[in-house]
Amino acid sequence: NSFQLSVAYYNPKYFPLENEPPLHIHDAFEIYLNLSGDVSFIVENHTYPISRGSLIITKPYEYHHCIYHDNKEHEHYCLQFSCREGDELLASFSKREKGENNHIVLDSALTASITKHFDKLLHISENSSINKYYHFIKILRTYIREYLFSKAMKMLCLVIIK
């Protein structure tokens, strides 16, 4: 099976700033969902301001890390997945410049909805592949829909400005 998926939930009540994770890469895609915390996120040379409902997606070998602005609670999920090279489902993410179009912000209703899917993924047993794929696809669908909407709005703004 060429598809791999893992999810983690983090909710440190206190985070020493000297323990901030360094700039790093993975050989898989990563989707980060912020639920709380005063943080920013760097992908390549681009810094994104992060708020509740922020989603960051990084593709394989894209340098990234979270910047903590204080040592208080930082609740978030990280979902890593990999699949076959050239998978068309992920073309919109993998065929973009590094550090570009990594960030979208969900409204409160979508944040609540996608959080349920992250939580379900976290608690699914390894024997329940169908449920695992179902919740993963719901997360990916939300991201793709909001990503495409965001791109369309940016294009519309450029047309209006001209």
**pLDDT for 98 beyond 80:** yes
Two structure tokens written together for 64: 């990234």
- Contact present, 57 and 143 (Cβ < 8 Å): yes
Two structure tokens written together for 15: 């985070």
| pLDDT for residue 91 | 67
What is the chain's length? 162
| Mean pLDDT, the chain, integer | 83
Calculate mean pLDDT across residues 129-156.
79
Confidence of residue 64 (pLDDT cuts 50, 70, 90): very high
DSSP 95: T
For the chain, percent of residues with pLDDT exceeding 90? 36
Two structure tokens written together for 139: 């997360």
**pLDDT for 127 beyond 70:** no
| pLDDT for residue 3 | 75
**CA-CA distance, 111 to 53, in Å (whole number)?**
5
**CA-CA distance, 62 to 162, in Å (whole number)?**
33
Confidence of residue 42 (pLDDT cuts 50, 70, 90): very high
| pLDDT for residue 41 | 94
**pLDDT for 34 beyond 90:** yes
- Contact present, 42 and 64 (Cβ < 8 Å): yes
- The pLDDT tens digits for 11-21 are 877 666 666 77
**CA-CA distance, 162 to 148, in Å (whole number)?**
21
DSSP 51: -
The pTM of the full predicted model, rounded to 2 decimals, is 0.84
| pLDDT for residue 11 | 86
What's CA 137's distance to the chain center, in Å? 14
- Contact present, 12 and 74 (Cβ < 8 Å): yes
Calculate mean pLDDT across residues 35-63.
93
